[in-house]
Structure 1
Amino acid sequence: MTKKIKMKNTLVELDGDEMTRVMWKMVKEKLLFPYLDMNIDYYDLHIKHRDETGDQVTVDAARAIQKYGVGVKCATI
């Protein structure tokens, strides 16, 4: 097995709704996780979770991006 590349910085992951969630999971499992040792700060931005938290999860995710300087979210389709 190939040695994984260790990421120094934390990546803020913003998970989305419906098919984007499924597609992003596939990308991570096939293209990222086999090759990268990543520190991930995860936020569930599914509409139900945003409603449950009164959008606080969105504010928390934005603050995490400010803190770590990088975030990734699969595009909405």
Structure 2
Amino acid sequence: SRQKMDSLHTAMKEKMRESMMKNLDEKATMNLRIETLEKLNGKLEKELESARATIENLLATQPAPEMKDETTQTVDSD
């Protein structure tokens, strides 16, 4: 009976250890995913900022589209 209890206890400890290792493994995987997502997010933010600057430059160097449309319309109607 004592031996049975000991082996049961050992089995329980082993299960707990396995479970703990699995949790640590999952946590490490999650941390890695979070790190990867944060890097990707940083890249995307830079790209967005760059695109925004490009658009602002284009808008600054080009006449407003409404003005262009009005002039072509008046030319067309004449």
Q: Shorter-normalised TM-score: what interval? A: under 0.3
Larger Rg: 2
Larger helix proportion, structure 1 or 2?
2
TM-score, normalised via structure 2 length: 0.23
TM-score (norm 1): 0.23
